Amino acid sequence: MATATASSLDVAPLGLDQSFGAMVSGLTREQLREEPIRKALFDLWIDKGVILFRGDTSAEMHVELSRCFGELEPHPFPESAEPGLPELVKIKYYPEDGTCYDVGGEQRGGWLPWHSDLIYTDRINRGGILRPVQLPQELGHTGFIDQIAAWDRLPQALKDRIEGLHIVYVVDMDFSRHPFVHSGEVRCLRMAKSGTAIARRMWTYPRVVHPAVFTQAETGRKVLNVSPGFAEGILEMGGPDGDVLLREVIAHCTEPATAHFHQWRQGDMVLWDNWRVLHCATGVPTEQTRVMQRTTIKGDYALGRKLDGAAATDFDV
């Protein structure tokens, strides 16, 4: 049953099996001018981590709604920018130009493993809102996993071992080379033009370090801060022992039964808290097209650093 948390704010659960996530229906740009509405939306985001919006999903609403949750920033890779719309990133797969993988014997365009956005920088963005522009006929789903719930269900022995450690992350646009991506056999068949341009510069970017566990400032809840995508290992435990521990933790936090996979339809927008929610993309059949736009909500939880010890700065491009 839908309930109202503020004047005319219609909120319902996102799914039947997950404790995280919520759906807000019928929100208008006029409502965004009301401070109680903006506060209710922010509080709901902190509580639930993921919000599905259904209603006004114009580009203008996309940007204005995103600003309810923080200042917006451009993506650090200029190849990802949407021409003429600096607040928006284009996430796309075209049959003639897009990254393709063989994932367990199936060819998928635009496939992405579980990861946190910009985890390979020392300042992780706060979140973002994703909106479809052109959807495929099949697949194209986005998965979400709550890392607060992941910490809560982690066995105590693993909590004791991982807390206080740090994970090293590196820029690499070829996910088939990521050692902690658990999706069976993964092989890169083709890199998108934009990904190829970034890959040519990959060795110029510094490795970065983030804590494996941190505390959500607003609630005091602990967050398992581990991204399988872009992870290179445990800083304090380089070598096989660290790799075994990290794989064990990742196996627990990416259990399929704990994930919510959103099946997109036109008119959807999804906001997620990038500091506590992993996401992935199922990809699409290689002959189909998928085009999405995303905002990037600025933030810095002030716990990341460059591995070389340099002071935290904006990610240089």
What pLDDT score was predicted for residue 281? 97
Determine the residue type at 160: D
**The pLDDT value given to residue 317:** 39
Buried-state track 74-107, b at ≥16 Cβ within 10 A, e below 16 = bbbbeebbbeeeebbbbbbbeeeebbbbbbeeeb
- Domain extents in the chain: 75-306
DSSP state of 297: B
What distance in Å separates the CA atoms of residue 251 and residue 117, rounded to the nearest whole number? 20
Residues 2, 14: Cα–Cα separation, whole Å = 11
Q: How far apart are CA 65 and CA 88, in angstroms?
A: 13
Residue 299: partners with Cβ closer than 8 Å, 6 or more residues away:
70, 123, 124, 125, 126, 127, 274, 275
Write the DSSP symbol of residue 278. Answer: E
Widest Cα–Cα separation across the chain: 55
Q: Show the tokens assigned to 120.
A: 């390979």
pLDDT of residue 160: 97
Distance between CA 20 and CA 45 in Å, rounded? 10
pLDDT at 253: 93
User: Which residue in 108, 132, 133, 131 sits closest to 281, CA to CA?
Assistant: 108
pLDDT digits (tens, 9 = 90+) for 92-148: 999 999 999 999 999 999 999 999 999 999 999 999 999 999 999 999 999 999 999
Q: What is the pLDDT of residues 200-220, one digit of tens each?
A: 888 888 999 999 999 999 999
Which residue's structure tokens are 């959500």?
216
Write down the pLDDT at residue 198: 80
Residue ranges for the chain with pLDDT beneath 70: 1-8, 16-17, 75-84, 183, 309-317
Amino acid at residue number 232: E
Task: Compute the C-alpha angle 273/168/212, nearest 5°.
Answer: 50
Q: How far apart are CA 88 and CA 296, in angstroms?
A: 7
**Integer Cα distance of 174 and 142 in angstroms:** 19
Rounded distance between C-alpha atoms, residue 63 and residue 77, angstroms: 19
Read off the tokens for 272.
């997620």
Q: Say whether domain 75-306 belongs to CATH 3.20.20.70.
A: no
Q: What are phi and psi of 182, to 5 degrees?
A: -105, 90
The vertex-146 CA angle with 143 and 149, nearest 5°, equals: 145
pLDDT on residue 286: 97
